[in-house]
Amino acid sequence: MAFNIVQKIDDKVQIKNVLISLFDKTGLDTLVNGLIETCPDVKIYSTGGTYKAINELLGDKADKYLVSVSDYTGQPEMQGGLVKTLDFKIYLGILGEKYNEAHQGDLARTNAVAFDMVAVNLYPFRQAITQPDVTPELARTNIDIGGPCMIRASAKNFIRVASVTDASDYPALLDELRNNNGALCLATRVKLMAKAFAHTASYDTAIATHFAGLNPEEVGDTYSDIQR
């Protein structure tokens, strides 16, 4: 397999298409209203509960700024929300390189958009396993799949995408957008990238540590019905 070695990038990237999927919606109003203020032509793509929250927040303005990921991909969410964003058009839009003709051709061929910012946080695994009645099943169901994938993809493509994982970063990012006519610089994207990978590494470590501490033979005993 040949790896793409990118040489030409932009320091400042205009924020035009934003993918938002948040379990913890702290600061969502600040982020959404700030994006609309600083990037007037922005389109926000979202899923599930986050889509509903943004739709309610925007009210009559929702049609102008908000797009459902299911409408965008043409695929409904899997029951239980297990699959919402794991779609070729989503990852093409996150991982595509601006100056790569083949990538740009794929975007045009699929009528996809290039995402400039991905704002994601994850299912509350750590909170779940601290509950006194936690079971292996409760822990398992709180393992996020799509969230870490989006975080890692956007962080990998920091040359073009801002990977936002911490609500405390929203004010500073919006200030930079305000001062740069709706653009974020490379230095900011690199800092966000490092933070994003630290976030997913810590999350995966918590999952591995928790399940390594369980007796595999006893895990099955927590299920009332096992088909053998």
Separation of alpha carbons 162 and 155, rounded Å: 7
CA–CA separation, 164 and 193 (whole Å): 8
**How many residues does this entry show for the chain?**
228
Amino acid 4: pLDDT: 86
**Average pLDDT of the segment spanning 5-31:** 97
* pLDDT tens readout for residues 196-217: 999 999 999 999 999 999 998 8
Given this model, what pLDDT does residue 77 score? 74
Report the predicted TM-score, pTM, of the whole model to 2 decimal places.
0.94
Torsion of CA 100, 117, 81, 199, to 10 degrees: 100
How do residues 166-195 score in pLDDT, each as one tens digit? 999 999 999 999 999 999 999 999 999 999
Do 118 and 165 contact (CB within 8 A), yes or no? no
Number of H helices, E strands in the chain: 12, 7
What average pLDDT is seen over the chain? 94
- 200 CB neighbour count, 10 Å cutoff: 20
CB within 8 Å of 117: residues ≥ 6 apart: 15, 17, 18, 19, 154, 161, 162, 164, 184
pLDDT of residue 149: 96
Is residue 182 packed enough to be buried (19+ CB in 10 Å), middle (13-18) or exposed (0-12)?
buried
Domain spans of the chain, in order of start: 13-214
For the chain, percent of residues with pLDDT exceeding 90 = 85
Question: Which pLDDT band holds residue 222 (cuts at 50, 70, 90)?
Answer: confident
Residue 82: its pLDDT value, please? 65
Q: Does domain 13-214 have CATH number 1.10.760.10?
A: no
Count of CB atoms situated within 10 Å of the CB of 63: 9
At 228, the pLDDT band (50, 70, 90 cuts) reads low
Contact 164, 192 (CB under 8 A): yes
Q: How far is 224 from 158, CA to CA, in rounded Å?
A: 46
By percentage, how much of the chain surpasses pLDDT 70?
Answer: 97
- pLDDT of res. 226: 67
Please give the Cα distance from 112 to 110 (Å, whole number).
5
pLDDT at position 123 over 90: no
Chain segment 44-95, per-residue pLDDT in tens: 999 989 999 999 999 999 999 999 999 999 887 777 666 677 899 999 999 9
- Beta strands (DSSP E) in 60-204 are 66-68, 117-120, 162-164, 183-184
> What is the dihedral angle through the alpha carbons of 171, 123, 155, 52, rounded to the nearest 10 degrees?
-60
The tokens describing 126, both together, are 């750590």
CA–CA distance, 101 with 119 (Å, rounded to integer): 27
Q: What pLDDT does residue 80 have?
A: 67
| Rounded-to-10 torsion of CA 159, 161, 166, 169 | 80
